[in-house]
């Protein structure tokens, strides 16, 4: 079993952690374990970023977007001052 020491935790966070632990009827250490377990056992969203963006905006329409033909090859941007 691994051990973890957290240094430099501000007083407000420490106090809030202590209150939450008491509210749940467990030690601060058990509360931290529960928080970490909850945070890291949540399943990752399905699909990549592009899929999630598409799903978010699909209801707005625009799925039949016509793009103009390219007249020239893409080129690198120039950032001259």
Q: Which helix (H) or strand (E) holds 21?
A: helix 11-23
Residue 31: how many other CB atoms lie within 10 Å: 19
Q: Residue 2 pLDDT > 90, yes or no?
A: no
Smallest CA-to-CA distance from 1 within 41, 39, 29, 20 is with 29
Tell me what pLDDT residue 32 has.
Answer: 95
Confidence band, pLDDT 50/70/90 cuts, at residue 63? low
- Out of 17-21, 40-44, 53-57, the most confident range is 17-21
The gap from C-alpha 54 to its chain's centroid, in whole angstroms, comes to 18
Tell me what pLDDT residue 67 has.
Answer: 81
């Amino acid at each position: 079993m691994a051990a973890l020491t957290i240094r430099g935790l501000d007083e407000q966070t420490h106090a809030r952690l202590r209150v939450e632990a008491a509210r749940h009827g467990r030690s601060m250490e058990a509360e931290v374990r529960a928080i970490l377990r909850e945070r890291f056992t949540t399943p990752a969203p399905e699909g990549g970023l592009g899929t999630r963006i598409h799903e978010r905006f699909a209801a707005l329409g625009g799925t039949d977007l016509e793009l103009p033909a390219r007249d020239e090859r893409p080129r690198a941007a120039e950032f001259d001052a």
